[in-house]
A and B are shown apart, each in its own frame.
Chain A
């Protein structure tokens, strides 16, 4: 019974990582940016969801949407402020340059969140989050855990369908594959990139909201998500949102079960050991994907 309980806990934690990894993967596969500022999109998503409830008095469902919107707006703003100038000067393809730029944005946005919150721990007020407890046999599942899992699956499916079944998705993938050729084919790369950034930001914002629901969080919320989300996307594969989501679920389950049955002290070591093992065995991830080394 304890195993099942922890498996459920792992899957629900993995759902958050999956949402984050999907966003991370969309940005990398479209723009070739290893965006280390992605974590703070989750932070700002959680913060706007929190303020939607505490300041505006609106329900959790609206807060979830506000979190997604905040993530999307943050992602688009970061892209236009930091990455677009690089692209316009021909530096957008340089992995190192964009990484350094994204680190600067990460620190700036993180400190802005610290100032906005006074670095205090925050939590959704009791009763504002649907935290009903369901008991299936001896397994306890919170409504927020179910919502996170459903949301992760739905968002992954939606983004996959957008990318593979719509003209806009084709344009996004074309820009990711070869921007010059896509432009020759009549694709406006700016629209494709902004759409990809917004999708990634929204998914990451949702990750932040569900991560914050039911516990406390601080301005550093996104930092933990970044590392685990990055591991998830490398394990699953950066070129396929389904793979990224699978990697997220896998990381969550491994993290919780290893803490329970091996050692809480080594849960991160085990998680990132898994990352290393996958990189050695399948350098392009468990699913078909693009390679990190491409510049």
Chain B
């Protein structure tokens, strides 16, 4: 009897929830001209410094889309923000909240690959189209429900390695990698692929760990190999610490790294030790086309600083989602936005110039620029000064 009563007492709220869910599902994605796009933010947690920059780019794009009436018909995008802190469990909880809200017709997420991997399972189950804006591990995209506008660093790293081999002509190279992070291993391998067959002698690899904070040993091991160039494929903090440790110990050779040092925050932490260290980016205001120049101007006006690669990636993610919403018709639903995202094969006049999509992944190889910091904290295109012996 008690069990029956308990069942009855649970039945009413369960029915109410089901009815509400069904009702919201029938309302489609629009409400008073608003189209809701979920945005799992990372304004707190371990990579909040990057999360803020990605968010700046996304918010700027949405403001611009709404201001210019890009969607047509007086419709506007409303970002439904959920703080995931780039922690898998928290981000998954937020993804679940977005998944049950049927008025949300698309989602933007994820800087870290493990977080993206966890979130995409939830969104795919809910048939909620997801655009990954920052995670770099290969194969994360999974169309039709998961696409990615992250500009792949692997392609850019290989490109940079080939340019360094041709222009700076170091006789030898050593590598250092965060070996317990698949994303960084993948980036390290792309550098190796770039140097393969160029005649640059591979002196070996020094492994570090994601949780490692002291790099005196790694620096000593690298310098003992006496390479003319060192490729650093590690987390941002590790990269800056390694650059500092190597330079402080008198290493004079060429240091090569990834886009991870491209943010103003990275230069603030590292200072002039980053001067002359080449890294590849897809967006550099100094070489951008008209749309990129306009983005740089708008970003500087809004946030008081030049946009970096992360801001550009955020902007591009929101712009692609807006384009899909626009193409999805007057009353966009998850289904129509999913189809519209999958149908995008090429976008012209973006901040990267012309970009193409293959299997849900953005490609923009023509946009890659090799840049470096100057001692006074500006970015310029990299030109080899010659690789000296260590």
The residues of A with any CB-CB pair to B shorter than 8 Å are 2, 5-6, 9-10, 12-13, 16, 111, 114-115, 118-123, 125-126, 131, 133, 140, 142, 145, 211, 214-218, 220-221, 224, 255-256, 259-260, 263-265, 267-268
A145 touches B216 (CB 8 A): yes
The residues of B with any CB-CB pair to A shorter than 8 Å are 44-49, 52, 179-180, 206-209, 211-218, 220-221, 223-224, 236-237, 240-241, 244-245, 248-250, 265-266, 268-273
Query: If A2-B224, A140-B250, A214-B245 touch, does A10 touch B217 (CB 8 Å cutoff)?
Result: yes
Pick the residue among B208, B250, B265, B272 that contacts A126 (CB under 8 A). Answer: B272
A6 touches B206 (CB 8 A): no
Query: If A126-B273, A264-B207 touch, does A140 touch B249 (CB 8 Å cutoff)?
Result: yes
A121 touches B209 (CB 8 A): no
Give bound CA distance, A5 to B265, whole Å. Answer: 32
Give bound CA distance, A133 to B217, whole Å. Answer: 16
B220 touches A131 (CB 8 A): no
B248 touches A131 (CB 8 A): yes
Give bound CA distance, A108 to B215, whole Å. Answer: 28
CB distance from A97 to the nearest CB of B (A): 26
**How many A-B residue contacts, CB cutoff 8 Å?**
117
B45 touches A119 (CB 8 A): yes
Give bound CA distance, A221 to B213, whole Å. Answer: 8
Residues of A within 8 A of B49 (CB): 118-121
Query: If A131-B248, A133-B249, A265-B179 touch, does A122 touch B273 (CB 8 Å cutoff)?
Result: no
A119 touches B48 (CB 8 A): yes
Residues of B within 8 A of A16 (CB): 214
Residues of A within 8 A of B213 (CB): 211, 215, 217, 221, 224
Query: If A121-B240, A122-B269 touch, does A256 touch B180 (CB 8 Å cutoff)?
Result: no
CB distance from A43 to the nearest CB of B (A): 12
A123 touches B270 (CB 8 A): yes
A215 touches B220 (CB 8 A): no
B244 touches A123 (CB 8 A): yes
Which chain B residue shows the least CB distance to A10? Answer: B217
Residues of B within 8 A of A6 (CB): 217, 220-221
Give bound CA distance, A255 to B216, whole Å. Answer: 11
A13 touches B214 (CB 8 A): yes
Which chain A residue shows the least CB distance to B213? Answer: A224
B271 touches A119 (CB 8 A): no
Give bound CA distance, A97 to B85, whole Å. Answer: 29
B250 touches A265 (CB 8 A): no
Give bound CA distance, A136 to B206, whole Å. Answer: 25
Task: Give the 3 A-B CB pairs with smallest separation, nearest first.
Answer: A119-B48, A215-B241, A120-B49
B271 touches A259 (CB 8 A): no
A119 touches B47 (CB 8 A): yes
Pick the residue among B207, B240, B248 that contacts A216 (CB under 8 A). Answer: B240
Query: If A220-B46, A265-B179 touch, does A123 touch B240 (CB 8 Å cutoff)?
Result: yes
Which chain A residue shows the least CB distance to B375? Answer: A126
Which chain B residue shows the least CB distance to A54? Answer: B268
A133 touches B237 (CB 8 A): no
A264 touches B271 (CB 8 A): no
Known: A145-B216, A217-B237. 14 other contacts (CB 8 A): A13-B214, A111-B44, A114-B45, A114-B48, A122-B268, A133-B248, A142-B249, A211-B213, A215-B215, A215-B240, A216-B269, A255-B217, A264-B209, A267-B209
CB distance from B357 to the nearest CB of A (A): 32
Give bound CA distance, A118 to B221, whole Å. Answer: 33
Residues of B within 8 A of A111 (CB): 44
Which chain B residue shows the least CB distance to A221? Answer: B213
